[in-house]
Chain A
Amino acid sequence: MTHHPDPTDAADALTLGEQTFTSRLILGTGKFASAAGMVQAVKASGAQLVTVALRRVNRERPDDDLFTPLAQLDGVTLMPNTSGARNAREAITAARLARQLCDSRFIKVEIHPNPHHLMPDALETYEACRVLAAEGFWVMPYMPPDPVLAKRLEEVGCVSVMPLGSAIGSGHGLAAADLLRLILRDSRIPVIVDAGLRAPSEAAAAMEMGCGAVLVNSAIAVAGDPPAMATAFAGAVRAGRLAYRAGLMPRGTAAVASSPLTAFLSTPRAEA
């Protein structure tokens, strides 16, 4: 393992459902050039929770299997997603199917009917979360950055809300920063930025705002060197979290000197 947990991590664990995590970086497993590269990146990231998707088995490619690489990720919990579902009914079925494939109670509810923008369907997402939370799933919804919906999802028993920073895979970072701050202000469950991040600095900024974690996939999977980028994101997430806990100084509207402005190497002015 290349991950060295910060000594502060254990005392600052993230609780989701009934499980605690010392890593606040959640990784997606899609878009990697190879399964081996995915495994290396997850290990380098220190992630303890990773997302996986459901799809039809491909009989033409029997070795295209995710179970073998996943078995190399000791101590990593799986969070299946419902990607591909176009409505609540399909997402609920996907969640129940995923439950047959792993012991994890986590489910990432993801319902985006339009492939052009992949924006989540708020109404279907709400309905799926309501049903799945009542069934005992630990539901983590991918959602639009909507503070009203975030509270409604909290009320039906989601263990976190995962608003998008910007469109999935777009790399537009925290375009929704102002709305994310409104969600953070009122949320009593962890707020996890899911989607849109491109640079580690954006992950740090999300953590500095008070997000509980970030979920990153494309930014690492399609980087020139995915394990190195995973390491970079891990450092950024830790730095951002430490900064949030340390408390950022207030913003001012004018300069505030950090050095004494007394006379130095010059004759004091007459009026001074």
Chain B
Amino acid sequence: MRLIVNGETLLLPAVTDLPSLLAALDQRGDRVALLVNDDVVPPEARPNHVLRDDDRVEILTFAGGG
């Protein structure tokens, strides 16, 4: 599948949904917030969220800030 993840185009053959995307990118699900095509996808909705080619996924986390 071809996805635009945090602005970068990635080819990820094994990825079909959000949990498999997080696994492929080595991200802990409880430490990231997800935005798919500008929609917030809460943790409980991730398993059923099927991804499609060219979906834009933003994976965000906390950083230091004022």
Contacts and interface: CB of A to CB of B under 8 A. Distances in A.
Interface string B44-66: 00000000000000111111111
A244 interface: no
Interface residues of A, number: 36
B26 to A, nearest CB: 7
Contact of A29 (B32, B42, B64): B64
A54 B33 contact: yes
Contacts of B42: 100
Contact of B40 (A57, A78, A93): A93
B63 A66 contact: yes
B27 interface: yes
On chain B, which size bracket covers the interface?
20 to 34
A31 B63 CA distance: 10
A80 interface: yes
SS of A interface (majority)? mixed
A28 B35 CA distance: 25
B66 A31 contact: yes
Interface in A72-131: 78, 80-81, 83, 93, 96-98, 100-102
Interface of A: 28-32, 35, 38, 51-57, 59, 62, 65-67, 70, 78, 80-81, 83, 93, 96-98, 100-102, 168, 195, 215, 217-218
